[in-house]
Chain A
Amino acid sequence: MNVSTAVAVSGLTVRHRRTVALDRLDLSLGPGVHGLLGPNGAGKTSLIRVLATVAAPSSGRVELLGGDATSHRERTGIRRRLGYLPQDFGHYPAFTVREFVAYVAWLKEVPAERVPAAVEHAVARVGLGDRIDARMKTLSGGMVRRAGIAQAIVNEPELLLLDEPTAGLDPEQRVDFRSLLRELGTEATVVVSTHLVEDVAAACTDVALIESGRLAFQGSTAELTALGGESPDGNDSTTHAVERGYTAALHAHRTPSHTAKGALR
């Protein structure tokens, strides 16, 4: 296997009771910032949770950072090098930002003598340095989300998984966050699940589009944009172009299955 491939999954299937969240998904991701796009319920969160090793797949192979994530022993090493921002991450409300991030550093087994500096660095990177000793329960939604990003990067992960990281951020914070993403993408593999195409247009080098648990499109952001073709009305922004590409890729993916269903009727 290529050592620079941080994520290599094949035949990944995840079932929740009777519904199939991921259906024999094959995906491999290398360094850079990958936007994980797809309609609501497409399986983005299921995929991120499997990659974060918090959920076990029903079947399939999951290789992360060169190790087998389904093996108990290799998972330990993987988790040290993994950062994860869940969509809803709980926190002990009486913790300060510093304590919350230090708690996660402890979970990730960052060496104790490096924790204080690592915590301050991570918190500063998300722009919360001036609120580092504020209690989590006193923070606004956007600040809590940034504290969440800080805990995800405290161990300087090689694989960073962010599930809806821009939810709750105001436009200025989103701009700052995207530049942080680009910075992180130079040294790690970053997977960002989002349904904001402007996040993808501004920060992601590559895109994986998931629909009904299957991979509908994978390529660079430019390739997705190209799928959308020329704008009919001439005045076009990048966001619009990516949006059209997104829609075109989804349509292209859906069409064969629709004709198959039509033939059955």
Chain B
Amino acid sequence: MRPSALLYLRSRALPGALAALAGTAVAAAWAAWWLESRPDFDHTARLPVVVLGPLLAAAAIGSSLHTPSDELDRTAVRAWWPRRLAHVLAPAALAVTLLALAVPGHAEQFGALAAVRNTLGLVGVTAVAAAVVGARLSWLPPAFFVGTVYLAAPSTPGGGAQWWAWVMQPGTQAGAWTVAVATLTVGTALYAWRGARRVTGES
């Protein structure tokens, strides 16, 4: 790898973020296996895994969007948006792959499809949050959203809830996928265009 690319990755603490992604995937795989192996539970008990795993992965990506040298970065010769786009999408692709592998089987319920959808959507929410409240706190809005929806979503899938409680839906709900992909599109576009909001007093 070119030394300059390495400097960029290090300045955003991306090695740590990638390690966090890998750790999240391992923890998710273990939790999914453990929940499924409980005597009274079956594969539908993996719902918390396909919600919390993607949330943690999105938070790891969001925290890496912080730049310590914002003012100097603004003097960069080349436009930032392609690098910003890559910075969201490449780790998101990795997270999607890892989390899809973490919950094997029963994709129509709370398996790989739901994990992929939730990762894409929550990365989108995190990217919006980074652009609006800054990268350091970008985990907070998606965590709040997930927490609220987890408590408020009806137990039966589909219906109107698939639009707002999309993280709680089984993997094959079209409405939930639409919302997740739209969120990812809006989030990455907004972040690529604006960058993480600069928060005064941050070092």
**Interface set, chain B 1-57, CB cutoff 8 A to A:** 2-4, 7-8, 10-11, 13
Q: Which of B68, B69, B75 is close to A108, meaning CB atoms less than 8 Å apart? A: B75
Chain A residue with Cβ nearest B76 = A107
Q: Would you call A106 and B75 a contact (CB within 8 A)?
A: no
- Could you tell me the distance between the alpha carbons of A141 and B67 in the complex, rounded to whole angstroms? 21
Q: Which of B10, B72, B74 is close to A151, meaning CB atoms less than 8 Å apart? A: B72
Residue A217, interface by CB 8 Å: no
CB distance from A137 to the nearest CB of B (A): 10
Chain A 115-152 per-residue mask, 1 if CB under 8 angstroms from chain B, else 0: 10000000000000000000000000000000000010
Q: Which of B3, B67, B72 is close to A104, meaning CB atoms less than 8 Å apart? A: B72
CB distance from A28 to the nearest CB of B (A): 22
Q: Would you call A88 and B71 a contact (CB within 8 A)?
A: yes
- Could you tell me the distance between the alpha carbons of A86 and B73 in the complex, rounded to whole angstroms? 11
Residue B108, interface by CB 8 Å: no
Chain A residue with Cβ nearest B200 = A88
Size of the B side of the interface (Cβ < 8 Å), in residues, is 22
Residue A99, interface by CB 8 Å: yes
Q: Would you call A95 and B10 a contact (CB within 8 A)?
A: yes
Given the contacts A79-B77, A108-B77, A92 and B72 also touching, CB distance less than 8 Å: no
Residue A232, interface by CB 8 Å: no
Chain B residues, CB < 8 A from A92 = 10-11, 13, 68-69
Q: Would you call A79 and B68 a contact (CB within 8 A)?
A: no
Chain B CB within 10 A, most for which of A53, A80, A102, A104: A104
Q: Would you call A106 and B69 a contact (CB within 8 A)?
A: no
- Could you tell me the distance between the alpha carbons of A99 and B3 in the complex, rounded to whole angstroms? 10
Chain B residues, CB < 8 A from A246 = none
Q: Would you call A93 and B68 a contact (CB within 8 A)?
A: yes
**Interface set, chain B 174-203, CB cutoff 8 A to A:** 202-203
Chain B CB within 10 A, most for which of A79, A80, A89, A92: A92
- Could you tell me the distance between the alpha carbons of A90 and B74 in the complex, rounded to whole angstroms? 12
Q: Would you call B68 and A106 a contact (CB within 8 A)?
A: no
Q: Would you call B11 and A84 a contact (CB within 8 A)?
A: no
Given the contacts A103-B7, A103-B8, A106-B8, A80 and B72 also touching, CB distance less than 8 Å: no
Chain B residues, CB < 8 A from A112 = 2-4
- Could you tell me the distance between the alpha carbons of A108 and B72 in the complex, rounded to whole angstroms? 10
Given the contacts A76-B77, A108-B77, A84 and B72 also touching, CB distance less than 8 Å: yes
Q: Which of B2, B13, B72 is close to A89, meaning CB atoms less than 8 Å apart? A: B72
- Could you tell me the distance between the alpha carbons of A106 and B8 in the complex, rounded to whole angstroms? 9
CB distance from A70 to the nearest CB of B (A): 15
Q: Would you call B11 and A52 a contact (CB within 8 A)?
A: no
* Closest 6 pairs (CB-CB, A-B): A106-B4, A54-B74, A107-B76, A92-B11, A86-B71, A90-B69
Provide a sorted-by-A list of 19 A–B residue pairs whose CB atoms are within 8 angstroms: A54-B71, A76-B77, A76-B78, A84-B75, A86-B72, A90-B68, A90-B202, A91-B68, A94-B10, A95-B10, A95-B11, A99-B7, A103-B7, A103-B8, A103-B11, A103-B69, A107-B73, A108-B77, A112-B3
